[in-house]
Structure 1
Amino acid sequence: MKQLLLVFIGGGIGSSLRYLVGSYFVNNTSAIPYGTLLVNIVGSFIIGILLGELLKNHALSSTLLLLLATGFCGGFTTFSAFAFENFELLKTGNYIAFLGYTLGSILLGILAIGAGVWVSKLAV
């Protein structure tokens, strides 16, 4: 039950923060949904830091991983919004924005994880 509560709390905080970030970018005139892109890249970076810390010295407890990785990052990042926004771009025929958003999200997400691992190795 404790594990479920940790995921619930982290997910609630992450989802609320995702909503706030998305709301900030709602009036954006660009076809690319920058709010979702930003939360997915930042979430990937945070996961990278957590992974780096775990690999570096196994200092993260399973409790902290549940709260931050599964809960917070799981609530903060969103694949369903990413898929929906891509569907909308395709439906409206905005193929350039679709390609930029899809490729940018995937490549930047992977790079953000790598950057997070790298940053965690620098920290003492």
Structure 2
Amino acid sequence: MDKLRKKGGIGVVYLLVGAAGFLGASLRYSIGIFLFHESAVFPFATLTVNLLGSFLLAWLMTGLLVRFSLPAHLKTALGTGFVGSFTTFSTLSVETVTLFLDGKTALAVLYVAASIFGGLWMSRLGFRVTKGEEAE
């Protein structure tokens, strides 16, 4: 990143992060439309994208990007731009509070637990897939 600043190419990083962010946010929105149902009691769409994002970030950062020695600005675009805009902690937070306010305490706790432990497991799976191992 320092080399880019010295060469005046920092704008390229912003453009790549923005473009990748557009793609990640668009994909997240599409999945949300596909999985969202107004009568749904549980926020499956957000849980799905956050679990997929946990896997994807681990897989990208430890596998694909390292294996192919991609430049730092592409790693930033994919990690921060694409995966960062694909996943959504703020929506998880609002949905959890909404579940609590609606008196659905057990669902709220289940949602947070599934998000945290599922995200950790999916990240672990992403690391293991990179190394060619099967998940336990």
| Runs of 4+, deviation exceeding 6 Å | none
Q: Structure 1 unaligned runs (5+)?
A: none
Asked if 2 retains the 8 angstrom alpha-carbon contact of 1:46 and 1:116, the reply is yes
Q: What is the rounded CA distance, in whole Å, between the counterparts of 1:26 and 1:55 in structure 2?
A: 32
Q: Show the counterpart of 1:35.
A: 45
Q: What one-letter code is carried by the residue in structure 1 that aligns with 2:33?
A: S
Deviation at 1:66, TM superposition (A): 1.4
Q: State the match for 2:71 in structure 1.
A: 61
Question: Higher RCO, 1 or 2 (CA under 8 Å, sep at least 6)?
Answer: 1
Deviation at 1:29, TM superposition (A): 3.7
- The within-5 A match list for 1:29-108 is 29-53=39-63, 59-108=69-118
Q: Deviations along 1:20-75, whole A, 9 cap, x unmatched?
A: 11111221643210000000000110111023227965824212211211000011
- The one-letter amino acid of 2:94's match is F
Which of the two has higher C-alpha Rg?
2
Q: In structure 2, the residue corresponding to 1:122 is in which secondary structure?
A: coil
Percent identity between the aligned chains?
35
TM-score normalised by L of structure 1: 0.90
What number of residue pairs does the alignment pair up? 123
**What's the TM-score once normalised by structure 2's chain length?**
0.83
Aligned AA for 1:97?
L
In 2, Cα distance between the equivalents of 1:86 and 1:26? 16
Whether the 8 Å contact between 2:61 and 2:79 is mirrored in structure 1 is no
Q: Does 1:22 align with 2:32?
A: yes
- Counterpart of 2:131 in 1: which secondary structure? helix
